[in-house]
Chain A
Amino acid sequence: MKKTYGTRNTGHRIRGQNMNRPTNYELRTTSYEQSAQALYVHIPFCRSKCGYCHFYSVASSVERQMSKVALYFEQLKVELAEYKGKAGSFSTIYFGGGTPSLAASGLFFSFLEFVDREFGIGLAACESRVRCPVSRVSEAEISIEANPEGISLEYLKHLRAAGVNRISIGCQSFIDGELKTLGRRHNAAAGLGAVKLARRAGFGNINVDLMGGIPGTCVEDLLGNCEQAIALGVEHISIYLLDRKEDAAFLAGKGWEEEEELRGLEMVRAVLVKAGYCNYELSNYARPGFACRHNLVYWRGGDYIGLGPTACSLLSGKRYKNQASLRGYLDEPGKREEEFLDSETRRREKIMLGLRLQEGLSLKELSKVADGGGRDFRRRVARLEKLGLLAIEGHRLMLTAAGQPLADRVMVELF
């Protein structure tokens, strides 16, 4: 399987461009000195909290949030303005949550316009297909997370017109019982509908999130969900297993047994690879050319800027973390913790992130960050190779199929 992902994600009618020609973005990889090219925007609003979710958000009714959300978007601009000079143009933007799809499409429109004006994301006007004063496309990958409930065709079209070109839909499952267990507000039909709606609205790059290991379910349920996603023809599928440690409180000891998890991971991989998806990251599958470029920036160790409460930024070897309070953020958007990443820490992060990728970890890149651990490191790699958990191809180090379910363990060995 190919280890590079030429990215083809717009499918837009861009003036003067042949829409069929793939647009290849050269991702400049992994020098901490470069300026950030990825922008994450956290939208910390939800209608209700899900038991298994660890992301920061505030739950309240849409009506009560409307004015607050508008104010919040203004504050995002204030925070972003601080980074002027520390970032050039962005090649990816990701609206994550929370539930970004709770915010009015106009807010995205004006926010993206602001980003384009101040930093540049290659926004260009295009032929409008909705009743909208202007319609735009971007050369950048602009993703938004959305929940199946409460999104209309109109809303999705407006997002497209604002420049958003990738949508990640939090379906989680296509089985009503599972959705109920997870405490989701939508049902299976709504999940299917949302994906179809996104397609109709013109999204050519759709991700579906699926969840495995839900109490009371089996591997076959998860495989069924994968088949559904394949049938929907989505470009990208993220599959997360509930974790015995991380989600202990939610699972209350009723999750999958290790053997089930293992079988689940194996079968999912087999099914999706057979359907033409590439397992480019431990939990992520994409059709060729549709790997999430934004997330690749994280995994390849690139710099990024994050806006909003709890969002993190990585700039020139320092990581910043915004405060975990919406109220605090609205008062003081620039308040954040700073963490200096020394060479050992950077080495570890490289290992931890790089090994998640199918393309693996570049040993050349690793030796740029630190001396790579020297002979001891090579000895440990050799041992893991002997155990059949790691493989070396050229100057790249990657997990084998047997190593993938033990990824964390392997990383610790190399730390």
Chain B
Amino acid sequence: MEQKNIRNFSIVAHIDHGKSTLADRFLEQAGTLDPRKKRDQLMDNMELERERGITIKAKAVRLVYAQAGREYQLNLIDTPGHVDFSYEVSRSLKACEGVLLLVDATQGIEAQTLAHAYLSLEEDLDIIPVINKIDMRNADVGKVRSQLVKIFGFKEQELIETSAKQGDGVEATMRAVVERVRMPGGDAAGPLRALVFDSSFDFFRGVVIFIRMVDGEIREGQEISFYSSGISFKVDEVGIFTPERKRIGRLAAGEVGYFIAGIKDPRQAQVGDTVCEAKQRPAEPLPGYREIKPVVFCGLYPQAAEDYGKLKDALDRLRLSDAALSYQAESSQALSFGFRCGFLGKLHMEITIERLEREHDLDLIATTPSVIYKITKGGKEWQVQNPADFPEISADQEIHELYIEISVITPVEYMSPIIDVLKDRRGTHRRTEFLDPERVLLVYEVPLAEVVIDFYDRLKSMSRGYASMDYTPLDYRLTQVVKVDILINKERVEAFSFICHRDKARRRSKAMVEKLSEIIPRHMFAVPIQAAIGGEIIARTNVKAMRKDVTSKCYGGDITRKRKLLERQKKGKKKMQSIGQVEVPKEAFLAALKLEE
């Protein structure tokens, strides 16, 4: 199709503002989807996504739309809806010329609405503001209209009102896409350049690569390569999504679709990379590619040790459809064998754990998330994300940690407790902006480490669920973090060590030793539990000695019962980990790993 009849666009919205429902209406309108056969929100094809209302993997659907006697090809590129996938979102947006900025009429602008809008502005996209859910009883269309005008400077007449659920305003929205989103640029006659914006895995065919054509065309049988790796492949199949895969043999400049080239490892087709002709490497790749690096880590262990193999298989399979997931085997005193896994963020971690548990029928134990620290010493730089690898304190080393810019939108009444928490999390205030008399935007710079542990939950509970947040990574900054060791009966127990900021070490140490003293049972002697930085003890407590444990009566009839009671105690002891003379129950390790801020 000619480029002038093609429109590539995305829908961006805060969670639950109705993105997937609107996408489904488009599919129906274009006749692509048979309403009798439809499942709700067809574009989210993972069970989990539907349940959590989050689109995890971007999909692209080609719609055919006729207007004024002309037929248009509308490519709807679905974007992942959460903060952790902001890089993937930005890649998806790079494949578009326009976005529909969808806002829930009952909620108004939320943190991710802002984040997406700014991202779209950065990409210089044509933005069409859409107010959704206008049919809801508690919709406040007027207020949302004025927010959109005030915050983004839209004109009143640009705003479209819809009820995706009822189907109202859908036609107007599609018309706006045709009229207001510019046609794709690119050189149809030039050498092939296409942007990889996502991939999925087909167990029979290998990696399915989602591309946005920029220059030239891609055909079956063609030899292509990826710009970053230089590895070449022969294209087996080229097609589009309707939303099912449909083979069409070639894609031209401006179009969106997929190709399959017998690639077994999804890491060979990285999001953001440029596809080019194997023999004609372009001078410039498409801009913006970077390697995705995990920033949040946690240990994943099977509840039952014998499930280790099953967990490994599950992770191997999951990585095929999630190139951002990384993992390596590790072992722990308390939890035996498992994996240290890296994620794009806390939500990515949570979704992965849920998928592992649900789709692979596993019971998992996840340790407290941690982040990466960069350590420089004597001209060398290396990264540490596990307390066990953390170097001893020394004067000539510097430690850097990742800072993020966090945006929180909240009703004004919850502003002050949220500010307190942000301050407590070592946040630096950047700006405060009143979106309207009732809602305020807070922008802070905070270390990522302070956000990965229970921040989101705290925020939600403090604001009764009304506050929303989003963040973008900034840079690594010099920091004063220390490794705290825990000593039980004077013996250091590696599994309890943790990394935290020096200013918080005392507080967290106190919480840790107190928690441990609640869980570790009383012994026949007092058990000191101490926290130390290097050689300096910064918190201590004692598990008091057990003084009395004796049964008064024991005669002929009681012997078996009494023996069994003692045998049960013995069995309980065996389940515990012996550290020197002290028996430490498994819960202690779990509690330590789950210790909250």
Contact of B547 with A406 in the complex, beta carbons under 8 Å: yes
Residues of A contacting B550 in the complex (Cβ-Cβ under 8 angstroms)? 265, 282, 404-408
Complex Cα spacing A407 to B569, Å: 13
Which residue, B550, B551, B560, B581, has most C-beta atoms of chain A within 10 A?
B550
Contact of B556 with A298 in the complex, beta carbons under 8 Å: yes
Complex Cα spacing A406 to B325, Å: 52
Complex Cα spacing A306 to B581, Å: 42
Residues of B contacting A408 in the complex (Cβ-Cβ under 8 angstroms)? 549-551, 566, 569
Q: How far is the CB of A47 from chain B (nearest CB, A)?
A: 22
Q: How far is the CB of B16 from chain A (nearest CB, A)?
A: 48
Contact of B547 with A258 in the complex, beta carbons under 8 Å: yes
Of B546, B552, B573, the contact of A241 (CB 8 Å cutoff): B552
Q: Which residue of B lies closest to A403 (CB)?
A: B524
Chain B, interface residues (CB within 8 Å), range: 20 to 34
Contact of A412 with B573 in the complex, beta carbons under 8 Å: yes
Contact of B547 with A262 in the complex, beta carbons under 8 Å: yes
Within 8 Å of chain B (Cβ to Cβ): is A227?
no
Contact of A306 with B549 in the complex, beta carbons under 8 Å: no
Q: How far is the CB of B83 from chain A (nearest CB, A)?
A: 50
Instruction: Give the residues from 216 to 246 in chain A that come closer than 8 angstroms, CB to CB, to chain B.
Output: 239-241, 243, 246
Instruction: Give the residues from 506 to 536 in chain B that come closer than 8 angstroms, CB to CB, to chain A.
Output: 524-525
Interface string of B167-203 (1 = CB under 8 A from A): 0000000000000000000000000000000000000
Q: How far is the CB of A261 from chain B (nearest CB, A)?
A: 5
Residues of A contacting B569 in the complex (Cβ-Cβ under 8 angstroms)? 408, 412
Q: How far is the CB of A93 from chain B (nearest CB, A)?
A: 13
Contact of A283 with B553 in the complex, beta carbons under 8 Å: yes
Residues of B contacting A310 in the complex (Cβ-Cβ under 8 angstroms)? 557
Complex Cα spacing A183 to B524, Å: 35
Q: How far is the CB of A273 from chain B (nearest CB, A)?
A: 18
Within 8 Å of chain B (Cβ to Cβ): is A312?
yes
Residues of B contacting A299 in the complex (Cβ-Cβ under 8 angstroms)? 554
Residues of B contacting A345 in the complex (Cβ-Cβ under 8 angstroms)? 563
Which residue, B547, B552, B567, has most C-beta atoms of chain A within 10 A?
B552
Within 8 Å of chain A (Cβ to Cβ): is B570?
yes
Binds B, one of A125-133, A348-356, A366-374: A348-356
Within 8 Å of chain A (Cβ to Cβ): is B136?
no
Of B524, B547, B551, B573, the contact of A246 (CB 8 Å cutoff): B551
Complex Cα spacing A102 to B421, Å: 73
Residues of A contacting B525 in the complex (Cβ-Cβ under 8 angstroms)? 387
The tally of residues in A whose CB lies under 8 Å from a CB in B reads 49
- From known contacts A352-B562, A353-B559, infer whether A406 and B548 are also in contact, taking CB-CB under 8 Å: yes
Residues of A contacting B204 in the complex (Cβ-Cβ under 8 angstroms)? none
Residues of B contacting A353 in the complex (Cβ-Cβ under 8 angstroms)? 554, 559
Q: How far is the CB of B549 from chain A (nearest CB, A)?
A: 4
Within 8 Å of chain B (Cβ to Cβ): is A68?
no
Residues of B contacting A246 in the complex (Cβ-Cβ under 8 angstroms)? 551
Instruction: Give the residues from 564 to 597 in chain B that come closer than 8 angstroms, CB to CB, to chain A.
Output: 566-567, 569-570, 573, 581
Of B548, B557, B581, the contact of A311 (CB 8 Å cutoff): B557
- From known contacts A387-B525, A389-B524, A406-B547, infer whether A312 and B554 are also in contact, taking CB-CB under 8 Å: no
Residues of A contacting B554 in the complex (Cβ-Cβ under 8 angstroms)? 282, 298-299, 352-353, 356
Q: Which residue of A lies closest to B568 (CB)?
A: A412
Complex Cα spacing A177 to B552, Å: 23
Residues of B contacting A389 in the complex (Cβ-Cβ under 8 angstroms)? 524
Complex Cα spacing A356 to B551, Å: 10
Within 8 Å of chain A (Cβ to Cβ): is B555?
yes
Which residue, B553, B557, B560, B569, has most C-beta atoms of chain A within 10 A?
B557
Complex Cα spacing A370 to B205, Å: 65
Contact of A295 with B555 in the complex, beta carbons under 8 Å: yes
Within 8 Å of chain B (Cβ to Cβ): is A40?
yes
Q: Which residue of A lies closest to B562 (CB)?
A: A352
Residues of A contacting B560 in the complex (Cβ-Cβ under 8 angstroms)? 312, 319, 321, 339
Contact of B549 with A243 in the complex, beta carbons under 8 Å: no
Contact of A406 with B562 in the complex, beta carbons under 8 Å: no
Complex Cα spacing A333 to B413, Å: 77
Complex Cα spacing A283 to B550, Å: 10
Q: Which residue of B lies closest to A310 (CB)?
A: B557
Complex Cα spacing A409 to B570, Å: 9
Complex Cα spacing A319 to B563, Å: 13
Within 8 Å of chain B (Cβ to Cβ): is A376?
no
Within 8 Å of chain B (Cβ to Cβ): is A411?
yes
Of B547, B562, B581, the contact of A405 (CB 8 Å cutoff): B547
Of A314, A406, A410, the contact of B556 (CB 8 Å cutoff): A314
Residues of A contacting B548 in the complex (Cβ-Cβ under 8 angstroms)? 258, 261-262, 265, 405-406
Contact of B570 with A412 in the complex, beta carbons under 8 Å: yes
Q: Which residue of B lies closest to A306 (CB)?
A: B556
- From known contacts A383-B581, A412-B566, infer whether A349 and B551 are also in contact, taking CB-CB under 8 Å: no
Q: Which residue of A lies closest to B525 (CB)?
A: A387
24 sampled A-B residue pairs with Cβ under 8 A = A40-B556, A55-B557, A240-B552, A262-B548, A283-B552, A298-B555, A298-B559, A306-B557, A310-B557, A312-B559, A321-B557, A321-B560, A339-B560, A349-B563, A352-B559, A405-B547, A406-B546, A406-B550, A407-B550, A408-B550, A408-B569, A411-B566, A412-B569, A415-B566
